[in-house]
Amino acid sequence: MIIGDHLRAIREEKKLSQGEIEKRTGLLRCYISRVENGHTVPAVETLEKFARALEVPLYQLFYDSDKPPALPNILKRKSAGDIAWGSSGKDARMLERFRQLLSRTKEGDRKLLLFMAQKMARGKTAAQ
């Protein structure tokens, strides 16, 4: 279906005139007529104005059903949590063991370890 025909069908279904669409969008009535008759192809911004004026989601201007279109079957991407070090496998077991040992360490020793880790991390980023 041509976008203009679809716009007209939605407008008529909602019992709105081109004049009412003109008031709601700020577009000229003659422009609305040209779009509905297929003489002009509106920009996306203009289609957004039409969608707001017709009180419908933008996808309905392109789609003939009441339900949103089904999403294509896209491969699932890993989240940041899945990619992070220590989130699974051997690294996760080692990190858990490290947490257990740290919880039993004295406060002064823990501060010393964290200080050393910060120095090592800074040295690594400065060398890159």
DSSP assignment letter at 60: G
Q: How do the pLDDT tens digits run along the chain, 128 residues long?
A: 588 888 999 999 999 999 999 999 999 999 999 999 999 989 999 999 999 999 988 888 887 766 766 767 766 666 666 667 777 788 888 888 888 888 888 989 988 988 998 888 887 655 55
Domain boundary assignment for the chain: 3-61, 87-127
* Tokens linked to 30: 């003659």
CATH fold of the domain at 3-61: 434 Repressor (Amino-terminal Domain) (1.10.260)
- Which residues, in sequence order, are CB contacts of 122 under 8 Å at separation 6+? none
Cβ atoms of residues 65 and 73 within 8 Å: no
Compute how many other C-beta atoms are within 10 angstroms of the C-beta atom of residue 80. Answer: 7
Q: 3-class SS at 65?
A: coil
Considering the entire predicted model, what is its pTM?
Answer: 0.52
As given in the structure block, the two tokens for residue 93 are: 């077991």
